Structure 1
Amino acid sequence: MRDANLTGYTPKATPGVTPEDILPAFSRVVSCDGGGGALGHPAVSLRIEATQVTCPYCSRTYVLQDGAGGDDHH
């Protein structure tokens, strides 16, 4: 599934639908494994395009913290 602009899959939290499991992010790329050990999900890397990204597996939302995200370079 991709977004309408074909920039990549970047799910967003939907109020009333997405669980309110919000975690701080200090980098534009975060790794999520569901946090449940064997009960979690496959580890995925998620890129924060604007200010937040929601994991497509577990719906955890990662919010980029103020002053973070300067890791755009190669």
Structure 2
Amino acid sequence: MRDPNMTGYAPQPIAGITPSDQIAVTSRVVTCDGGGGALGHPAVALRIEAHSVTCPYCSRTFVLAEGAGDDTGH
């Protein structure tokens, strides 16, 4: 989720520098570890509130697939 209060939690994309990885997912809760094994980052669970969420470590953006994400739970 992009940070609407601009507290600095969410990364700000910089054209030509920030990776533009966009991964389509079918669940509102995703886990990101950077994908590099030992070269990645600590695993972090992210929740998609609207349409997408960006990892604060590696700037990968997870986009909710069309028609997905109506899951409910805790």
- TM-score, normalised with respect to structure 2: 0.78
Give identity over the alignment, percent: 62
- TM-score, normalised with respect to structure 1: 0.78
CA distance in 2, matches of 1:68, 1:43: 23
Q: Is the 8 A contact 2:33 2:41 kept in 1?
A: yes
2:62 equivalent in structure 1: 62
Which sections of structure 1, spanning at least 5 residues, go unmatched?
none
Which sections of structure 2, spanning at least 5 residues, go unmatched?
none
Q: Is the 8 A contact 1:13 1:54 kept in 2?
A: no
The 4+ residue runs of structure 1 with deviation greater than 6 A are: none
Matched, 1:43 2:43: yes
Q: Which amino acid aligns with 1:72?
A: T
Q: Is the 8 A contact 2:11 2:56 kept in 1?
A: no
CA distance in 2, matches of 1:64, 1:40: 23
